[in-house]
Amino acid sequence: MTIHDTATRGFASDNYAGVHPEVLAALAAANGGHQIAYGEDVYTARLHEVMAEHMGRPVEVFPVFNGTGANVLSLQSMLPPWGAAICAETAHINTDENAAPERVAGIKLLTVPTPDGKLTPELVDRQAWGWGDEHRAQPLVVSVTQTTELGTCYTPQEIAALCEHAHAAGMRVHLDGARIANAAASLGLPIRAFTADVGVDVVSFGGTKNGLLGAEAVVVLDPEASTGLPYLRKMNMQLASKMRFISAQLVTLLEGDLWLRSAQHANAMALRLRDAVQGLPGVEVVRPVQANAVFAVLPRAAADRLRERFRFYDWDVATGEVRWMCAFDTTEADVDAFAAALAQELAR
């Protein structure tokens, strides 16, 4: 049964896209017969092998339902009740998770303003202090987002510098990888190059924004950095009984090159969109396009009219900045139609 118009397209979020056809086929293939519940299935076992291949070392993998769950579980397993996580002010854990880290995990977030969404050792030091002071939450984790909420991408060297700085101060490093594949595609590097190889301890590995159906994972690269995840996952209602269906999706994404193909395409569509709109009168692309996001400022009236045809979100109402996202299924025709509609609205 289909009750929506499958021709409808938007540029609000890569979450709006459907499930990749190859993933749907994998779900159907995994559906026959019985498999042991709660992660003792062959698909979850295979996921450990595939993820280890990507990371270049044995890893612990905990499939979960969503990115917020992955982030909360990661941080909760890395921090004691008196611990705090340093993150960018714009980080998803601070701006878009409705206080889940604070209310569910009881974690204090120590935020730092950044010009481009990226932390540096110097910015971390604005909050990395007060150890031993019983009146201050103890900064024990640095959380980076790759790609950032502003569409920027950390280089391996930048993450390596953060990891070295954090570890020297006795802190661990968590990477929120909701768009980790888009980062790898942008950098032209394997995932391990900016995670396992440079000192990241725990990764929230994203799949939903890259064509999966509610499938993410917590990936523990250093077992000493995380504790209690099997129990925390159950406590936080992120333990899937029929886990084979989450793991099968992640295996399908990662076993071949689907993860990379999909991310490369989404990134390419964002570049096409940037090129199509940046010459239009009244439109200013205000941030570098390094992955699958385009940030632009345009007249409010034109944006409101355009939104009646293509949904997208305001990023900063005060400045008129909006965000346009591309996905694995965004087509060249989608981009061209959007740019043409924008030109029409600007001319009115």
Kindly list the structural domains of the chain, giving each domain's residue range(s) and its CATH number in brackets, ordered by start: 34-255 (3.40.640.10), 258-347 (3.90.1150.10)
Element (H or E) spanning 110, and its range?
A: strand 108-112
Tokens linked to 117: 């969404």
Q: Helical H runs in the chain?
A: 21-29, 42-55, 67-78, 92-95, 100-103, 121-124, 156-168, 180-187, 229-235, 244-255, 258-277, 300-307, 332-347
- Nearest residue to 183 via CA among 246, 139, 241, 118: 118
Distance CA(163)–CA(200), nearest Å, equals: 6
Tokens 């960018």 locate to: 88
What is the pLDDT at residue 174? 98
pLDDT digits (tens, 9 = 90+) for 316-348: 999 999 999 999 999 999 999 999 999 999 998
pLDDT digits (tens, 9 = 90+) for 33-91: 999 999 999 999 999 999 999 999 999 999 999 999 999 999 999 999 999 999 999 99
First to last CA, the chain: 39
pLDDT category at 306 given cuts 50, 70, 90 is: very high
Alpha-carbon dihedral sign for residues 80, 81, 87, 91: positive
| Weakest-pLDDT range from 6-10, 131-135, 246-250 | 6-10
pLDDT digits (tens, 9 = 90+) for 181-226: 999 999 999 999 999 999 999 999 999 999 999 999 999 999 999 9
Angle between helices 42-55 and 244-255 (to 10 degrees): 30
